[in-house]
Amino acid sequence: HDSCVMVRRGNQIVLEARTSRGALSAVYHLLEQLGARFPLGRPAEFPHIALERLISVEPSRIEPVFTRRAFASDIMSWSYTEPDRLELHLEHDREFIPWMAQRGINAFSFIRHAADSQVRIDQLTPLLAERGVGAEYGGHVTQLLLPRERFETHADYFPIGADGARMRRGNLCVSNRAAIALVLANAIKYATDYPENTMLHVWGADVEGGAWCRCGGCARMSPQLQYMKIVNAIAETIAKVAGPPVAYLAYHDTLEPDPHLAPRTNVWFEWAPRERCYSHAIDDSSCETNPRYWESLKRYVEMFEGRGHIFEYYADAILFGGIGFATPAIIARDLGVYHALGLRSISCLTFGAFSVMAYPVNLIAFARGTRDLNFNPDSTLADAAAERHPACAADMAMAYRAIEQASKFVLTYGDVMAPRLSGDARSRKRAELREAVAMMRKAIEAAEHVLESARVPLVAAERELWEYGIETLSGIADYLGDTEGAATMKKLEAALRHIRAIEVEFKGNWGLDLERFHQVWLAGFGKRAAD
């Protein structure tokens, strides 16, 4: 849909495309050929165009290798009930959405949770539309399609938990016809109220287990089959009103495909390997973690006859504990193997300004790789440093390379702030974290070299981010070494002072919220230490 052609007819350059989005892509491509630059986090640069440069433009065809290239964010990260916080995020969006379009991203997905009161950020609808970026709404909405207030009068609509009692949380009892009928009615309204929605993401509750029903009628069905029963029913109903395809989320307790899944033809799987290893590519057989995920993906591709989306976490601030990482080589190989499987739709989770500050290399690599699989990850790293820091590119490229090396030592076990390791794996990871800390110190040395001669606010912010990373990883290493719990907790908590020192324009809403997540992570460390 975004393909376009740039041809020369006499003294004219002609841009040809079948869609307005394709035409816009052609314009951006031509401008870049003429010297325009679209840096991440800074305004676009449009130099004076000399006639000879215009004459030298070569004809070309632009055809991105992935059809759907999307970023996704939780709606709650906009803090939309607080005007000041909302405006803070919108300031970021007014720069980020144009950059998305300039770099070829053509979709943005708003992820809704049970606590959310809206499905999108209305202020962004015109900005996305004018830039040719498709809007998608959905997320963990199964709970919302069965309103929780119905529990008081129809507890039988709700799932039975492990204790044998009906529970307000979780999803629904898929053996209850009235519950399914209510879910279908709300799904139809959801689709008709937002006809611009190009994919209906109907996900279950965001928990690792226990959200599906264990009543007599449901217990014989796996979580995957319970979920597919609902997704298929919605897809059948949506098809009658020419609604969009429906996504089945392969995530947590549905990550492994049940062999008896029978998806309708308008159901696509959405594969979300959140706890995979990001120190190795997804198909790397030498990895201890990823082969399981790789096999599950291949089975989903076969079962759904190729109808699938990838949901990746290359800029997930929660997964990475708010620590800055860079994995361009992993992204490059991942995208290649996803494409080789026949998949042409992929998204990447982001957390607003914080992800731009903490994972710029990954965002740029994702945008490049989803258009052209032949992009060079190492030059992408250097280019990211030049985009972000034109006055000190060499020093910051050294810093980014050190962060890339540190990332290889850390990202092997899922949530960085929840190291569920034992035995030899525990001691091995402790040593690896020490190596990561040493590499992050090199990044800080490069940043301090810049700051010795000039006050560069973004460099100062990144230095504080990497200081936070050093202290946090040191604290986790102490925890894995069975250091006295109180001392470990004190070190982890003290690391937050570096996030507090970062200017809000760089850390954004999520950086302000990191304190709240940090308390949850600390509680987890305390509980695991007690166990």
Q: Which amino acid is at 272?
A: A
d(CA 448, CA 466): 12
d(CA 251, CA 401): 31
Which tokens go with 307?
Answer: 């109808």
| Ranges in the chain, pLDDT < 70 | 1, 483-484, 530-531
Using alpha carbons, select from 116, 70, 115, 84 the residue that is nearest to residue 367.
70
Interhelix angle 328-340/377-388, nearest 10 degrees: 130
Per the CB < 8 A criterion, the answer to whether 343 and 310 are in contact is yes
Interval 467-508: pLDDT, tens: 999 999 999 999 998 766 778 888 999 999 999 999 999 999
Strand duo 267-271 + 246-250: pairing: parallel
Per the CB < 8 A criterion, the answer to whether 353 and 505 are in contact is yes
Per the CB < 8 A criterion, the answer to whether 294 and 283 are in contact is yes
Spatial strand order of the sheet with 12-17 comes to 12-17, 4-9, 60-62
Label residues 246-285 b or e (16+ Cβ within 10 Å = b).
bbbbbbbbbbbbbeebebbebbbbbbbbbbbbbbbbbbbe
d(CA 341, CA 390): 38
List C-alpha distances in Å: 119 to 89, 138, 345. Answer: 16, 7, 22
Position 116 scores a pLDDT of 92
d(CA 88, CA 508): 7
Position 531 scores a pLDDT of 67
Position 530 scores a pLDDT of 67
Position 242 scores a pLDDT of 84
Interval 88-110: pLDDT, tens: 999 999 999 999 999 999 999 99
Position 485 scores a pLDDT of 72
Position 303 scores a pLDDT of 97
